Each structure stands twice: as structure tokens, then as C-alpha cells.
């Protein structure tokens, strides 16, 4: 079986709870949604993007060449869980080599996660706030997903843009608290709006979220600030 892979490279994690740790990133091509602020060639609506088809064994060999004193292998995208059958082959190979598996996901495909969760160590789960993404709400999917992901080391990431409403943020925080009020809950300012007051907005939303949760952090995309991949 083969999967569409956009790129494989080693860098530091630039987002969320594990900010700054060294990882090998495997970027899968293809996503089931298209957020307004998306900066990758990952949408299923854009088949002209660059990718290479790779088998799980071939991909493992590329990862082994890139991996030098890393924390984990980050499966990112796009949406990796669209490739669940491929991941069913790849994940055992990674774990046999001693790698920890870090999944970056839009937090929607809960059925796929349920099949693979036992071979995943960390879950970086997006909440796709409709006022941020320009897409429909996925609250039911997010809650079902989180109830599975909570078995592992999971944190929630919310991209905050100037269009994001307090109503959406409050609902997201409440939903997360119903699963675990101690979960790490990240408010990530949209990098394109850093100079436009978005950090102040994140700080206001942080106070709202702390009504429901114990650990709410404002964390920007550090890799973009540092100019690394």
C-alpha cells in the first residue's frame, strides 16, 4: 500500500504543548476540510500540489535517515487519519524501531483514531472553531474524538483569528472541560494577524476559557517566528 507524502524533514516542533522538541515531520498530502487560514498544499480540492507516493517500508527508510536524537515522529498534514490503512502498516514499523508517535490532527475522524490509538503516544488535536475556519462546526465529532484521544497524552489547539467569536471559544472550552478540565488548551494566534491585535484577543479569550479549564495557554507558531520549517 502507498500513501501520498508531501515531505519528510527534521526540525523543532513549533506549536502547542511540546514546543521546541526535535522531531521528524511526515507531512501527509490531503485534507477533508479547507480552513480559511490553511497554509499547506493539503486540501483534497487541490490535487495539483506536490507529493510523492511512498510505501510504508520506503517511508520508514527516509525517516531513519532524517532521525537524529529526536523526541518523536510527527505525523502531520493535511490530515494523516485519512490514510488510516497506510498508518496501520506504518505505526508498528515505527514502534519496532523505538520511535514515539506524535499525531497532529484536525480532530474530526474519530473512527479512524479509535482503530489506531493504541499505537499513538501523543495527540495534538485541533478544535476547528467555525468562526475561525469559515467551515461548519464539528462539535460532536470533536467530543467523540477527544473521548478516545484522552487515553493518551493529548492537548487541544485552537487557531484564533480576528474573526473568531467568544461564543465559539467558550463552547470549545466547555466541551473540553466535560471530558477533562485539566487538559492543556492552547489558543494559537493566527500568524498572519500577529501585528493586528490578535494576541490581545487571545488573552481575552484565555480568561474566558479559565472559567472552565485549569491550563489555558497562548502559544504562537514559534517555528514561523524563528524562520525554520
Handedness of CA 226, 41, 121, 63 (dihedral sign): negative
Mean pLDDT of 119-129: 98
37 pLDDT band, cuts 50/70/90, is: low
pLDDT for res 41: 52
- Domain 2-226 fold: TIM Barrel (3.20.20)
Helices (H) then strands (E): counts for the chain: 8, 9
What is the pLDDT, as a whole number, of residue 215?
98
Residue 46 has pLDDT above 50, yes or no: no
* Inter-residue long-range contacts of 51-57, CB under 8 Å, 24+ positions, other chains counted: 51/4, 51/5, 51/6, 52/4, 52/5, 52/6, 53/2, 53/3, 53/4, 53/5, 54/2, 54/3, 54/5, 55/1, 55/2, 56/1, 56/3, 56/86, 56/89, 56/90, 56/93, 57/93
The mean pLDDT of the chain is 93
The percentage of residues in the chain with a pLDDT greater than 90, rounded to a whole number, is 84
Look at residue 40 and tell me whether its pLDDT is greater than 90: no
pLDDT for res 39: 64
Question: What number is the average pLDDT over the span 175-185?
Answer: 98
- Please give the pLDDT value at position 49: 58
Question: Whole-prediction pTM value?
Answer: 0.94
Amino acid at each position: 500500500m502507498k500513501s501520498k507524502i508531501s515531505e519528510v524533514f527534521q526540525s523543532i516542533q513549533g506549536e502547542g504543548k511540546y514546543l521546541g522538541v526535535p522531531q521528524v515531520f511526515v507531512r501527509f498530502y490531503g485534507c477533508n476540510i479547507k480552513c480559511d487560514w490553511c497554509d499547506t498544499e493539503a486540501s483534497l480540492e487541490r490535487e495539483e500540489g506536490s507529493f510523492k507516493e511512498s510505501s510504508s517500508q520506503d517511508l520508514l527508510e527516509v525517516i531513519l535517515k532524517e532521525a537524529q536524537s529526536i523526541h518523536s515522529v510527527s505525523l502531520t498534514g493535511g490530515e494523516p487519519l485519512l490514510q488510516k490503512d497506510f498508518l496501520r502498516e506504518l505505526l508498528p514499523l515505527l514502534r519496532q524501531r523505538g520511535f514515539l508517535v506524535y499525531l497532529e490532527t484536525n480532530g474530526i475522524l474519530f473512527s479512524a483514531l479509535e482503530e489506531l490509538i493504541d499505537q499513538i503516544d501523543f495527540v495534538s488535536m485541533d478544535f476547528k472553531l467555525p468562526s475561525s475556519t469559515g467551515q461548519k462546526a464539528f462539535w460532536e465529532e470533536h467530543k467523540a474524538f477527544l473521548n478516545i484521544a484522552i487515553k493518551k497524552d493529548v492537548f487541544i489547539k485552537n487557531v484564533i483569528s480576528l474573526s473568531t467569536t467568544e461564543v465559539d471559544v467558550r463552547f470549545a472550552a466547555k466541551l473540553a472541560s466535560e471530558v477533562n478540565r485539566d487538559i492543556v488548551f492552547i489558543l494559537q494566534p493566527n500568524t498572519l494577524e500577529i501585528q493586528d491585535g490578535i494576541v490581545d484577543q487571545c488573552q481575552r479569550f484565555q480568561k474566558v476559557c479559565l472559567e472552565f479549564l485549569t491550563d489555558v495557554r497562548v502559544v504562537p507558531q514559534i517555528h514561523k517566528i524563528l524562520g525554520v520549517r
